[in-house]
Amino acid sequence: ILNVEQSPQSLHVQEGDSTNFTCSFPSSNFYALHWYRWETAKSPEALFVMTLNGDEKKKGRISATLNTKEGYSYLYIKGSQPEDSATYLCAFPTDSWGKLQFGAGTQVVVTP
């Protein structure tokens, strides 16, 4: 089983502050890197699928970067809002068909 590590395990952020957290993954046999957001009482929902070294993706106030050579991705939340409270999961395909290895997630709590 290949290891996908996320840090920190949890974050408490004041509303309006920006934050970021990390996903590290094996740098060999890279296919893609997935980010999902999982809000309480909802299903996990895809944020980004990143495939190229140096890729940067953005969705609203959330953005992500990718470094495939060193095996890490950062997720940034700019100007955090309470609705950003969720667990953010990254996942790494271990084969070309999409078998994903998930990290344990970073739980983000944004307080007003």
Other CB atoms within 10 Å distance of the CB of residue 109: 14
Q: Judged by CB under 8 A, does residue 51 bind other proteins?
A: yes
- d(Cα 48, Cα 22) in Å, to the nearest integer? 14
Tokens of 29: 């046999």
Q: How far is the CB of 35 from other proteins (least distance, A)?
A: 9
Minimal distance in Å, beta carbon 25 to other proteins?
Answer: 12
Contact with other proteins (CB under 8 A): which of 4, 11, 64, 66?
4
**CA nearest 26: which of 87, 93, 88, 75?**
93
Residues near other proteins, by CB under 8 A? 1, 4, 31-32, 34, 42-46, 49, 51, 89, 91, 93, 95-105
